[in-house]
């Protein structure tokens, strides 16, 4: 009953949200009122689209000290949209963050900062979505879904560093979901991690076996012990690389 009441409250918040779009006419900054279709910086009651009114590409910057708030956020709706985040915070207070929607192309480049998503993080749903994370933290209170559109790798998450946590706060059940057109890749130095509340190990191992989760180190591990209470996914060297490293260590010891 409590979950149902919460759902009705969220639906009410989203349906009453003020719809605004970022327009490519100003300095490109999130916190400049003139860059928005209603001439006001979005709030937690704003249903935000980054698409230049669906007519082309729009690029918005979120930097240190900026607290970007929305009710729901769709990046690349009909047209193309990009968020470059180098600091600050980005929050969806009542719904999803979607990258690539309604045949659009949406990109989030997270260099630094904190992203908090009340419901789902959807990368490539009805469009092409790309998330590249080189630092910072993302907290998702429901599901992380990658690649629900048709065609190529419609959803791509390049996790080069940083932490992604799915904490189940929305309705007590969080999942990592990858589809045939999605890919989660641990790039960079391979130091990024994804933590999913509860035991989602078998589900995630299936994605690894299917090649939907890959890493620059060659291998991917999933366990229930690194962060107790969570299923943790991270990059590891592939077995062949481990053997070579071991042989190299033995040769060095013999030379000494």
Residue 153: what pLDDT? 61
Sheet holding 72-77, edge to edge: 18-22, 46-50, 72-77, 97-101, 121-125, 144-146, 176-178
pLDDT tops 60 at residue 171? yes
Residue 249: what pLDDT? 46
The pLDDT tens digits for 18-31 are 899 998 777 999 99
Residue 156: what pLDDT? 96
Greater pLDDT, 37 or 149: 37
User: Considering the chain, what is the average pLDDT of its residues?
Assistant: 88
Write down the H helix ranges in the chain. Answer: 2-15, 201-209, 239-255
Rounded distance between C-alpha atoms, residue 118 and residue 95, angstroms: 6
Q: Is the dihedral of CA 29, 131, 121, 159 positive or negative?
A: negative
The pLDDT tens digits for 61-86 are 999 999 999 999 999 988 899 999 99
Range 191-206 average pLDDT: 97
The pTM for the full model equals 0.87
Residue 148: what pLDDT? 84
Q: Which of 175, 170, 191 is nearest to 230 (CA)?
A: 175
Q: Which of 148, 138, 139 is nearest to 181 (CA)?
A: 148
pLDDT tops 90 at residue 12? no
**pLDDT band at residue 8, thresholds of 50, 70 and 90?**
very low
pLDDT tops 90 at residue 102? no
Q: Which residues are within 8 A (CB) of 169 and not within 5 positions of it... i.e. 6 or more apart?
A: 141
């Amino acid at each position: 009953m409590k979950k149902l009441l919460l759902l009705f409250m969220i639906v009410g918040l989203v349906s009453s949200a003020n719809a605004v779009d970022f327009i490519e006419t100003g300095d490109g900054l999130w916190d400049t009122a003139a860059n928005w279709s209603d001439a006001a910086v979005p709030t937690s009651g704003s249903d935000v689209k980054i698409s230049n009114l669906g007519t082309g590409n729009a690029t918005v910057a979120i930097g240190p000290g900026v607290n970007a708030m929305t009710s729901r956020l769709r990046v690349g709706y009909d047209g193309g949209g990009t968020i470059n985040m180098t600091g600050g915070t980005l929050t969806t207070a009542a719904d999803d963050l979607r990258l690539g929607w309604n045949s659009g192309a949406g990109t989030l480049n997270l260099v630094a900062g904190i992203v908090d998503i009340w419901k789902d993080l959807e990368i490539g749903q009805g469009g092409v979505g790309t998330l590249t994370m080189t630092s910072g933290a993302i907290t998702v209170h429901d599901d992380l879904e990658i690649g629900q559109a048709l065609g190529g790798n419609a959803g791509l998450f390049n996790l080069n560093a940083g932490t992604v946590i799915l904490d189940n706060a929305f309705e007590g059940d969080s999942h990592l979901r990858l589809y045939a057109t999605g890919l989660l890749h641990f790039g960079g130095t391979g130091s990024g991690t994804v933590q999913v509340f509860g035991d989602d190990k078998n589900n995630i191992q299936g994605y690894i076996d299917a090649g939907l989760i890959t890493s620059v180190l060659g291998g991917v591990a999933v366990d229930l012990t690194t962060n107790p209470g969570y299923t943790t996914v991270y990059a590891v060297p592939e077995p062949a690389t481990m053997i070579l490293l071991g042989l190299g260590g033995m040769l060095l010891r013999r030379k000494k």
